[in-house]
Structure 1
Amino acid sequence: MAKADKPSGLRTGLQGLTTRGRSFLAAGITAVVCAYVFGQDTLLQVGVLLAALPLCAATLLLRTRYRVAGGRRLTPHRTPAGQEARVHLRLDNVSRVPTGLLLLEDQVPYVLGPRPRFVLDRVEPRGFREVSYRVRSDLRGRYPLGPLQLRVADPFGMCELTRSFAACDTLTVVPQVQPLTSLRLTGEWAGRGERNTRTLALAGDDDVIPRAYRQGDDLRRVHWKSTARYGELMVRREEQPLKARATVLLDTRELAHRGTGPASSFEWAVGCAASVGVHLMELGYQTRLLTDTGWSVPGTGNGAATVGESAGLLLDTLAVIEQSDGSGFQRAEEVLRAGGEGLLVAVLGELDEDQLARLGRLRRRAGAGIAFLLSTATWAGLRPVLPDAPDDQATRRIDLLRDAGWIVLPAGSNDSVPDLWRLADRSAQGPSRRRADHGPDAPKTPQPGRAPQWGPYRDEAGS
């Protein structure tokens, strides 16, 4: 709750005069002047009455003793792009006298829609009124709501005074998260979330073996060979599950994307990173977000945050992420060099030879790698490949990434993340399919007279 500021001063009252009040005041002054010039006492009385009416209304509003308090509540505070959120406003009359005519207006960015306005006729002493309105944005981001403005008017409509509340709220519009299916990936050191690898440890993850006996340790864990060797009672380490790790690499380079607004390739990449990141967290992965600039957002760690809190942190970060002016993945490679084991999922734009080489090195530092390779030309309204002019460069990029061990998922503007994600399940691809894609006789470019192909998975995506 926040209380409205109470304006004071005659100047404030005069500034609050409405068109009707200013007209009455001008007419009254004119009548007084004419009465003085022509010596008409009756006209003088009329002029004084017309001029005094708006002045009395302004003085009455300035001297009102009732106080009001306002509050705002968002449901929810975090909403996906393209979906509505509801804003609830509450106005309390904390004084002992009823209010007059009130006009509520909330300050809302134009992206969320027009400014909402509500008219409240009368609020009884110690009473309250509640109103609500809806906001919606197709653009992700953080949008301030408020401050709430209250306009107090007199019964004759001569004067209106605006009182502002200080409290503001923030609505976070996050990328849409699409549900994905669980996959089984070969080469993944930690496996799926429910198939955690087990490692040997002692009472904690940081202990080493063998260690000395501690009071309270189970005597059945005594390691007699180590005890005889070291001359003191030693105990065995116990098995503890090792947390599966994953990294979502998002290509934010401005030169790697095309298109503008919600229909750009960059917004598709942000939505893809959000869906994959939340999905991996739900599977039990310790997931972090990494960009080409080397900026990293950690996920769940040591049980300090729940999956919901980590997913919320990821989505809040992606809600305000912007394109960078970088040209490569050098900084991302430095971050992964310090600890890049586990699953690596990359959402990539346009690539050159140096970037392809760096991505090959990044893949060798991970247990398994999945690359969403965006055909940014489709977001610019261009056809990627013509039947008589195959895109050899795009096919070569796909082949180089696959040779480096990546599972490549070519993506166009009409492709959906769930459909492409299902194609990453290597267990769903038969031996004949893999031989056809990676064998010595596999075609490297589309054949003349055939529809253009971005890769061996393109037909399966229904593109």
Structure 2
Amino acid sequence: MLTPTGWLLLISSTVLVAAGPVFGASELLAVGIAGASVAILSLAYVRVRQPLRITALSLKPQQVHVGDDCQARIELTNPSRLRSPVLRLADNQSFSTESSTDYFLSLDMLAAPIPGRDQLTVSYRLPTAKRGRLKTGPLDLTLTDPLGLSKRRFEIGDAAEALVYPAVFPVSPPPRLPGNTFEAVRRSPMAQSGDELYGLRPFQRGDDPRRIHWRSSAHHDELIVRQFEEFSHTHTTVLLDTRDVLMDFQSAFGDDERFEAMVSAAASICRASQRRGDQVRLVTTADFDSGYGSDSAHLHKIYRHLTLASPDFGSLFGAVEWLSRGQGGGLVVLVAAAVDGTEPGSLTSLGSHFSSKTAVLFADDEPAQPEQLPPGFIPGTALLVIDEPMGFAAAWAAHTASSEDSLIMPKPAGSTAPNPSP
């Protein structure tokens, strides 16, 4: 295909060829024929040149969090015996979740000439500014003749993908509040002595390095230790409210911004609990239940679901009822935009089924409607109201650092979170 410059040359040459006989000027005819010949030769040049080939395409790492570094590495091979010209590369990329897909062209660069039968490695950073399934490729390659009169586009390579996990804040795990009336401890019936193997768990400060299980550590990309004694842990359940109906009311958050903050909060709490050694469980109002688990593979399972999560239809009452059928006990953290008053009593069973409860609401600093607050009949619930997009980490830090003698968090600096009565 001719470039604008090529079309200009071809049209001008055609005019000169037509004007030569009219004005009796053989020079005009010769110049016109020469210009048209150059344009035709440029088309032939880009048609006969062989395109480059992609011999390897890799994304490292393939699981990253929002804002982390992710590199694409491409190996280009010149199959021709001739030196390749300067080529322009473009990369088609997209971010997708369960309900949306955004396409964009993020890479536009020049590839240096490659000697015949040789290779060139190209590396570039992929965008990780938002969570979702990041797909990259195939590459658009544009070949241009040396004069820039013609060009030809090729599509080379296959698509590759990486998962961009939600942003995770370095927060503390949910506090184990006193006065629990439930047995939140599980013990292995197989462990009859401190010398018998109970299982594997992530390495914690103070563990004996001789107990590191190197094969599992290499597989999970973190240190894993053998557990030889009875091990007690807390069960932590994070309930994420993904109902799109609660994203409509006005507040300091935008709709997308609010949901992203909620997903990041849920991921941060799950990660902090897993690092403490808790059995972690994620439940959403869209009928997802990860089950309990404490290893890194289970945490990545939660991350993968949160990566693709979108506001959807669901029922808070149904999610709570599902939780009530389980063993209960331990901790439960509700992450929501608001508690909808159209489901009266939907949270009642949380007060009788879990020993420690925390509600994290991403709402206005002063909710205009009473139904946006948890009902007063939820006993012993700590309430955090997050009134700005980046306020979760600070509010959660104040909550975990507060005295464990109180079930209700005192107001952190800069927050107007109300303190409902148990």
Q: Bin the TM-score by the shorter chain.
A: 0.7 to 0.9
The aligned runs of 1:121-132 (5 Å cut-off) are 121-132=112-123
Q: Distance in 1 between matches of 2:358 and 2:416?
A: 23
Q: Distance in 2 between matches of 1:54 and 1:67?
A: 24
Q: Give the AA of the match of 1:331.
A: G
Which residue of 286, 289, 292 maps to 2:282? 289
Shift of 1:352: 4.4
Q: Give the AA of the match of 1:400.
A: F
User: Equivalent residue for 1:46?
Assistant: 31
Which residue of 433, 443, 455 maps to 2:419? 455
Question: Are 2:313 and 1:313 aligned?
Answer: no
Percent identical among aligned pairs is 23
Shift of 1:253: 2.0
Q: 1:323 to 1:333 in 2, by over 3 A?
A: same
User: Equivalent residue for 2:71?
Assistant: 86
Bigger CA radius of gyration: 1
- Checking the alignment, whether the CA contact within 8 Å between 1:340 and 1:366 is kept in structure 2 is no
- Checking the alignment, whether the CA contact within 8 Å between 1:398 and 1:408 is kept in structure 2 is no
Structure 1: gaps (5+ residues): 1-15, 204-238, 379-383, 386-390, 439-450, 458-463
Q: Distance in 1 between matches of 2:256 and 2:244?
A: 15
- Checking the alignment, whether the CA contact within 8 Å between 1:250 and 1:273 is kept in structure 2 is yes
- Checking the alignment, whether the CA contact within 8 Å between 2:386 and 2:417 is kept in structure 1 is no
Shift of 1:250: 0.6
User: Equivalent residue for 1:250?
Assistant: 240
Q: Distance in 2 between matches of 1:453 and 1:163?
A: 57
Which residue of 345, 348, 353 maps to 1:365? 353
The aligned runs of 1:328-407 (5 Å cut-off) are 328-341=315-328, 342-353=330-341, 355=343, 357-374=345-362, 376-378=363-365, 384=366, 393=370, 397=374, 399-401=376-378, 403=379, 405-407=380-382
User: Equivalent residue for 2:258?
Assistant: 265
Question: Are 2:176 and 1:184 aligned?
Answer: yes
Q: Distance in 2 between matches of 1:262 and 1:399?
A: 27
The aligned runs of 1:195-214 (5 Å cut-off) are 197-200=186-189
Shift of 1:156: 1.8
- Checking the alignment, whether the CA contact within 8 Å between 2:75 and 2:119 is kept in structure 1 is yes
Runs of 4+ in 1 over 6 A off after TM superposition: 110-114
Shift of 1:422: 4.8
Q: 1:400 to 1:330 in 2, by over 3 A?
A: closer
Q: Distance in 1 between matches of 2:24 and 2:56?
A: 56
DSSP-derived class of the 1:116 partner: strand
- Checking the alignment, whether the CA contact within 8 Å between 1:87 and 1:135 is kept in structure 2 is yes
User: Equivalent residue for 2:150?
Assistant: 159
- Checking the alignment, whether the CA contact within 8 Å between 1:112 and 1:135 is kept in structure 2 is no
Shift of 1:161: 0.7
User: Equivalent residue for 1:133?
Assistant: 124
Shift of 1:419: 4.3
Q: 1:179 to 1:398 in 2, by over 3 A?
A: farther
- Checking the alignment, whether the CA contact within 8 Å between 2:92 and 2:105 is kept in structure 1 is no
Q: Distance in 1 between matches of 2:153 and 2:169?
A: 45
Shift of 1:393: 4.1
TM-score, normalising length from structure 1? 0.67
- Checking the alignment, whether the CA contact within 8 Å between 1:68 and 1:95 is kept in structure 2 is no
Which residue of 390, 398, 403 maps to 1:428? 403
DSSP-derived class of the 1:200 partner: coil
DSSP-derived class of the 2:164 partner: strand
Shift of 1:52: 1.2
How many correspondences in the alignment?
A: 369
Superposed CA deviations along residues 174-224 of structure 1, whole A, max 9, x for unmatched, are: 221112224333327565xxxx53253599xxxxxxxxxxxxxxxxxxxxx
Q: Distance in 2 between matches of 1:70 and 1:360?
A: 59
Which residue of 310, 322, 325 maps to 1:322? 310
Shift of 1:75: 3.5
When structure 1 is superposed on structure 2, of 251-260 and 51-60 the one drifting more is 251-260
Shift of 1:392: 9.9
Superposed CA deviations along residues 75-117 of structure 1, whole A, max 9, x for unmatched, are: 4333333455433343222333211221112224597986322
Structure 2: gaps (5+ residues): 96-101, 193-228, 410-414
- Checking the alignment, whether the CA contact within 8 Å between 1:178 and 1:275 is kept in structure 2 is yes
DSSP-derived class of the 2:161 partner: strand
Q: 1:161 to 1:283 in 2, by over 3 A?
A: same
Q: 1:427 to 1:127 in 2, by over 3 A?
A: same
Q: Distance in 2 between matches of 1:117 and 1:415?
A: 33
TM-score, normalising length from structure 2? 0.73
- Checking the alignment, whether the CA contact within 8 Å between 1:78 and 1:174 is kept in structure 2 is yes
More helix by share: 1
